[in-house]
Structures are given as structure tokens and as C-alpha cells.
Amino acid sequence: MPAKNIYFIGINGGSLNGIAQILLARGFNVTGSDVVETKITKKLRKLGIKINIGQKGSNISAEIDEVVISSAVMNGPGAAEIEAAKKLKIPVYKRTVWWKRIMGEAKRAVAVAGSHGKTSTTAMIGYVLAEAGLDPTVMIGGFVPDFKGTVRVGSKDVVVLEADEYDKAFHASRPTISVITNIDFDHPDTYKNLDLYIKGFRKFAKLSKSRNGKIIAYGKDKNIRLALKQLKTDIKYYSEDNLVPGIEVSIPGVHMQLNAQAAFHVCHSLGVEKKLIKKALKNFQGVGRRFEFMMDYNGMRIYDDFAHHPTEIRAVIKAAQKKHQGKIAVIFQPHQRVRTKQFISDFASALDLADKAAVMPIYEVVGREEDIDIQSDDIADLSVKISLIKEPKIKEFVDQLKDYKALLVVGAGDINEKVKKALE
């Protein structure tokens, strides 16, 4: 029987390129498309995946058995290929269908959820399990230097997934161990209020119960306690009050220490020795765009961080202040109009923690943006510490930071590339 032919629309995406690599390794015929060519495109082509640059209906042929998409492509350029597939009666599935299938096959499956910290925690767990010889398959939303990408292709029996709550995607996971790092309202385009957001996490938490599994969660989060209230399953809470001694990680910040605690409990539950877990966590290199060093500039250290929620911005500023005794500046690129409008005053108060801050124009995501009247200068108007800058003025802003110890380049869009281009 010939291998199934799977076509990925938006194959460069963090989730899709990982699933594509897993299916290729498992004997499927994998092809796909995207709007532009990137480093990921080149990597996938080297693996033998044919990729169309440009998304046209003519790319879809009757030989394709299944089309896989992410939520982001539905209203973007990929819509033409989706329509063509439907005309040919080819099934079109979201990425989460393959999350369900891949995790459902695994004897030991870990799903990491939370408003913040899930990428780093997932990477830590995957790295420790790999060092322990369990050969995990790891699907993750950020670049992991130890994996040389956003995925580690391993065995079918052990799977670790970063379970994103956007579009209720994490409800498709099938974990034997669920992790919840925190619950802090986000994605107002999916969840209209905090109550619905918490209910979304409660539904996720019930998934491990259906496989006679367990939950590992941060115990001092009141929203987590609400989500797990009276849930009759095995729950392990971790917090600053019951830290496992001797755990060290190289990435600064209390939040990273807590992520490591969660990773420890997951790996120990899977039978990894405590000594090995601690050694692996100490050697863990971190995740791309999580307090990642970019460059030195006129004696100032510049870091790139993916933070795009007020809580995350506060955490990375505090981590920088602890690491560097001196003035800290921030350049922030808001991500999505809907999030910016929801948290506008919180963004301003978070940026106020820095000695000086600048906001860039909002980064808007194709297929996930609404017609909402909000601009970056609405954040800048809320504090004298915050200014509005556009790309041509990046270097001018940075050159003014004569006596600053560190600059944080913050946001989930392309702000890191813009700053590199301006300063190199």
C-alpha cells in the first residue's frame, strides 16, 4: 500500500513544519506550500519535501489524500488552496487532528499548557527525556538549539507537546501527563472573558484523566486552583513553597526556575532518576527568543525575548534587572490589535518597569486580525517613559542609551529582525 500523501498549507509555520517532519520520518509522502521561502523551507527541502512558494489552487491535485492547515491560514493566501481541496473532496484538517493522532499512539504523552512558559517547559522536558535515552518526539512552538529546530523526531511511544490554548487547540491533545504552568487571561479573540478562559483549561485538564494520567500544576495560581477545583484525578502542585533543591538553569528569572520545577516533576514521574534530571536541566541551553543574547552594542547587552503579554514583559524586565545592575531599556512590538486593545493599560504599566521604553507599530497576523481601532501610540500616550518609534528610527533610539546596561527587544513578531538590521 503506497504511503499516504499529505499536503501542508503554511508548512513553514512552527507547528506544521514539525508535524511534517514527523510524518515524513514515519513513511508518509509530504508536500506543502507557503508564502515566502525561509530557513525552514530550505531545511524541509533538504529532507526531501517538495514545497510550493505561492499558494494557488492549481497546487492542489487529486493525488493528495489529506490537507493540513493551521488556524492562521484559513483567511490568508492559503484560502485558494483550501477551496481547491474542497472542490476535489480532499479532507482538510487543522493541525490539531495530527496532535490527537500522534499523542493517541503514544504510551507516554505529555502536554504542556499555560499562558506563559509552555515553550521553555516543553523544551526542558523534551531535552531531559532525550538525555535519559527515552528518545521522545517533541513538538514545540519555538526554536530549540539542542534540537536544531522546533521539533525532535523520536519514537512513537514517548511524545511531548506544547499545547497552545489559542483557538482551543489544546483540547485536541491526548496526554497521560498534563502540565499547567499558569492561567493568565489571553487570546480574547478566542475566549471572551477570564471565566471562559479558565473553563478552557479545565476541559484540557480533564483529558489526562481520560487516560488514567496525572496533572502537574503551579499551586499558587488562583486561576489554576479554580480550573482544577474538585477534579478527581492525580494532581501534583509545585511552587516556591516546595521547591526541589539542587535544580539550576542557565536562563535568568524566577519564571524559568519554576518552569524547571515543572519539568523535574514530569520527568521523575516518567521514571528518570533525580540526579540525571538535575544534570540535564543545568546543561539545557534554553529556547530561541527567550532572553536570548543578540549582540553587544556600544558596551550594552541586547537580548531578544518573545514576550507579548504584560505578565511576560514584567517577568523579562525583572530578570534583566536582576542580572544587570543598572539601567534597562525596552523596545516592544505589540502582537495583534485585539490583544493590544484588551491589555493596553497593562502593557503601559509593564513597560514602566524599565528605565526607558519604545513601542513599534502593531504586528498584525494574517487570518487572526480584526478591524479594531487601536494603535501603538495609544500605549505610548499612557506614560512619559514610553515613546513611539518606527523602523527608520530604531538606531537613533538605541544610540541614545549611552549609560544603559541592557536593551530588551520584546515581541512575538519580527522586531528582532528589524533591530538586527538597524544595528548591524
**Is the pLDDT at 355 greater than 50, yes or no?**
yes
User: How does pLDDT run across 124-162, given as a tens digit for each residue?
Assistant: 999 999 999 999 999 998 899 999 999 999 999 999 999
Mean pLDDT along residues 190-215: 94
Binned at pLDDT 50, 70 and 90, residue 369 comes out as low
User: How does pLDDT run across 110-120, given as a tens digit for each residue?
Assistant: 999 999 999 99
Binned at pLDDT 50, 70 and 90, residue 73 comes out as confident
**Is the pLDDT at 2 greater than 90, yes or no?**
no
Binned at pLDDT 50, 70 and 90, residue 372 comes out as confident
**Is the pLDDT at 85 greater than 60, yes or no?**
yes
- For residue 224 the three cell numbers come to 489554576
DSSP per-residue string spanning 287-343: -TTSSEEEEEETTEEEEEE---SHHHHHHHHHHHHHHSSSEEEEEE--B-HHHHHHT
Q: What is the CA 421 to chain-centroid distance, rounded?
A: 24
Q: How far is CA 245 from CA 124, 257, 261, 273, in A?
A: 17, 11, 10, 14
Q: Which of 33, 34, 36, 32 is nearest to 7 (CA)?
A: 32
CA 12 – CA 35 distance, rounded (Å):
9
292-423 has CATH 1.10.3470.10 classification = no
Q: Where are the domains of the chain?
A: 5-90, 98-283, 292-423
CATH of domain 98-283: 3.40.1190.10
The conformational region for residue 289 under phi > 0 = left, psi -120 to 50 = alpha, else beta, is left
Give pLDDT, residue 1: 40
CA 282 – CA 269 distance, rounded (Å):
19
Give pLDDT, residue 3: 67
**DSSP β-bridge partners for residue 178:** 111, 215
**Is the pLDDT at 19 greater than 50, yes or no?**
yes
Give pLDDT, residue 76: 77
Could you tell me where the DSSP H helices lie in 173-305? 194-209, 222-227, 254-269, 274-283
Which DSSP category does 148 fall into? T
Binned at pLDDT 50, 70 and 90, residue 345 comes out as very high
Q: Which of 280, 219, 217, 221 is nearest to 247 (CA)?
A: 280
Hey, do 5-90 and 292-423 end up sharing a CATH topology, with the first three levels equal? no
Is residue 75 within 8 Å of 55, Cβ to Cβ?
no
**Is the pLDDT at 280 greater than 50, yes or no?**
yes
CATH of domain 5-90: 3.40.50.720
**Is the pLDDT at 368 greater than 60, yes or no?**
no
**Helix 14-25 with 39-46: angle, nearest 10 deg:** 10
Give pLDDT, residue 187: 93
Beta carbons within 10 angstroms of residue 283's beta carbon: 14
Give pLDDT, residue 370: 58
- For residue 272 the three cell numbers come to 528518570
**Is the pLDDT at 371 greater than 90, yes or no?**
no
